Amino acid sequence: MKIARTILHQPALQAVIAEELSPGGAADLSDQSITDHILEHAKTVYHPCGTCRMGTDDQAVVDPQLRVRGVPRLRICDASIMPRLISGNTNAPVIMIADRCADFILGSA
Highest mean pLDDT among 1-15, 27-41, 61-75, 85-99: 61-75
Contact in structure between 74 and 68 (CB atoms under 8 Å) = yes
37 is catalytic: no
Residue-wise pLDDT for 11-46, tens only, equals 999 899 888 888 776 667 888 988 998 899 887 766
Distance (Å) of CA 83 to CA 8, 18, 21, 55, 78: 38, 43, 38, 9, 12
Predicted local confidence at residue 109, as pLDDT: 52
For residue 62, list its beta bridge partners: 54, 68
How many whole angstroms separate alpha carbon 25 and alpha carbon 90?
35
Q: Which pTM does this prediction carry?
A: 0.57
Least Cα distance to 91 among 43, 54, 55, 46 occurs for 46
Catalytic residue among 9, 37, 41, 47: 47
